[in-house]
Amino acid sequence: MEIGKKNAFVEFLKKYGIYCIVGIIVFAIALTFTLVATLHGTVETSTPSLNFRLPMSNSTVIKDYSDTELQNNETLNQWEAHMSVDMTSETGEVFAILDGVVLDVDYNYLDGYKVTIEHSDGFKSIYSSLDENVLVSEGYKVSAGEKIGIASNSANGELDLGSHLHFTLLLNDDHVDPNNYLDLQQK
């Protein structure tokens, strides 16, 4: 009976021994890295949280972000996804949402005057439909809450909305819902 048990163990090792050895090696490597990290101090695994500011004070959202339901653009007479938030305020003042560097100040017929700011952690904010007297230029370092311009009706693609800010937020160059990062609905 004992010979059968030995043979079963030998057969098991012949069949699965390599997997056991690989498992032990992987475990040893992981344990080594853990011990080295512990001996050399704590390893920072997260970045500090970002302190987002609002792009307008006391603003009203006039057209919200939607990537799943089409919205009617009355100016262009078409239904479209609206991957931005349109807002307005009494003063029309527009502010940087985070510290960053101005990547681009541009004008095009549909978006009007536009400022793109690159922030940390892969974020970019885009402020469109600004007045032509933009207060920043390419390469300028902005601080969170710093005034960058005034909202206007320069975006010919959304003339039906009147004077407003067309605000877009990108994360790693993908559109994201600004409502997930900014408290746009509750001023």
Q: Is the pLDDT of residue 187 over 80?
A: no
Choice between 2 and 109, residue whose per-residue pLDDT is larger: 109
Q: Is the pLDDT of residue 43 over 50?
A: no
Give the C-alpha separation, 162 to 141, whole Å: 30
Span 73-83, pLDDT tens digits: 888 888 888 89
pLDDT given at position 105:
97
Per-residue pLDDT band for 24 (boundaries 50, 70, 90) equals confident
CATH assignment of 60-180? 2.70.70.10
Q: What is the 3-state secondary structure (H, E, C) of 65-114?
A: CEEEEEEEECCCCEEEEECCEEEECCCCEEECCCCEEEEEEEEECCCEEE
Contact residues for 153 (Cβ-Cβ < 8 A; gap 6+): 112, 129, 159, 161, 162, 163, 164
The residue extents of the domains of the chain are 1-45, 60-180
CA-based torsion, 173, 177, 179, 184: positive or negative: positive
Average per-residue pLDDT in the chain?
A: 86
pLDDT given at position 107:
97
Span 117-135, pLDDT tens digits: 999 999 999 999 999 999 9
pLDDT given at position 74:
84
Per-residue pLDDT band for 39 (boundaries 50, 70, 90) equals low
pLDDT given at position 46:
43
Q: Is the pLDDT of residue 181 over 70?
A: yes
Give the C-alpha separation, 94 to 163, whole Å: 12
Per-residue pLDDT band for 97 (boundaries 50, 70, 90) equals very high
Give the C-alpha separation, 111 to 109, whole Å: 6
Q: Is the pLDDT of residue 147 over 90?
A: yes
Per-residue pLDDT band for 42 (boundaries 50, 70, 90) equals very low
Choice between 50 and 169, residue whose per-residue pLDDT is larger: 169
Q: State which H helix or E strand residue 30 sits in.
A: helix 2-39
